[in-house]
Amino acid sequence: MIEAIGRNKGFARLGLVVTLVLAGMLIETPSLHAVVFTLTSDHCTGGCGPGPFGTVTLTQNGTTVDVTVHLNSNFKFVKTGSVDFLAFKFNATGVVLTDITVNQTVPGQTLAAQTGTFNGDGTGDFSFGIACTTCGGGASDAFQNDIVFHVASATIADLTHPNSDGNIFVADVINLTTGRTGPVDVSAAPEPASFVLLGCAFMGMGLAARRLRRKE
């Protein structure tokens, strides 16, 4: 009886330690405040699939949101009217163009933030985008380098409101196998990385509890 009580107290202490460590990690580690969206919805004429086509990762870095748009290996960014001649489109609340800075990740080309009324090819209204201002039209200067940009004085929530068509982000892509081009988008909510970490912690605690019960 005394041994069982001791074990239960030990488990309670373990749970408290795990909870405190986890809370500290969530508060102090900026990378844990990240969400990953998957580009899965296909609006290409004839279809660009099979997907998924890539991911959009947003990380809260202090008062700035860092955004990385990555395409999977069979796809590249292109420049067509179906996505308003932008490589990537998004909406943002309380953001102006000068809040956005873009990394120059494509050698020999210039990527720049744009603002306007963008509603190409039925994916809904967007007010911001990233364009390759020096790229030729169509697939002539297609690129696979990640698009990386930063939005100052913003939160992840400011950049992830779906538009009236339920779309959050849109990319203009080409399928390297079929040659088909067009918009692909994110229309589903992501799973925050912090929730994944929390789930892992609780799974670990559950395993520890089962081991203690076996010893009783």
Q: In this predicted structure, what is the pLDDT of residue 56?
A: 98
Q: Are 176 and 38 in contact (CB under 8 A)?
A: no
Half-sphere exposure of 73 toward its Cβ, with a 13 Å CA cutoff?
A: 0
Alpha-carbon separation of residue 165 from 37, 50, 81 (angstroms): 17, 22, 19
Q: In this predicted structure, what is the pLDDT of residue 121?
A: 85
pLDDT tens digits, one per residue of 75-98 = 999 999 999 999 999 999 999 999
The Cα 115–Cα 122 span in angstroms is 18
Q: In this predicted structure, what is the pLDDT of residue 120?
A: 87
Instruction: Kindly give the confidence (pLDDT) of every residue in the chain, 216 residues in length, as a single tens digit, with 9 standing for 90 and above.
Output: 555 545 555 544 544 444 444 444 444 444 448 999 999 999 998 999 898 999 999 999 999 999 999 999 999 999 999 999 999 999 999 999 999 999 999 999 999 999 999 998 889 999 999 999 999 999 999 999 999 999 999 999 999 999 999 999 999 999 999 999 999 999 976 655 444 444 444 444 444 444 444 455
- Kindly report the backbone phi and psi dihedral angles of residue 131, in degrees, each rounded to the nearest multiple of 5, phi listed first: -115, 150
Q: In this predicted structure, what is the pLDDT of residue 59?
A: 98
Number of C-beta neighbours around residue 94 at 10 A? 9
Helical residues (DSSP H) of the chain, grouped into ranges: 2-28, 193-215
Q: In this predicted structure, what is the pLDDT of residue 4?
A: 52
- Could you tell me the two tokens for 35? 């969400």
Q: In this predicted structure, what is the pLDDT of residue 180?
A: 96
Q: Are 110 and 64 in contact (CB under 8 A)?
A: no
Q: In this predicted structure, what is the pLDDT of residue 2?
A: 54
Q: In this predicted structure, what is the pLDDT of residue 10?
A: 53
Enter the pTM of the model. 0.76
Interior angle at CA 119, CA 139 and CA 138, nearest 5? 10
Q: In this predicted structure, what is the pLDDT of residue 122?
A: 85
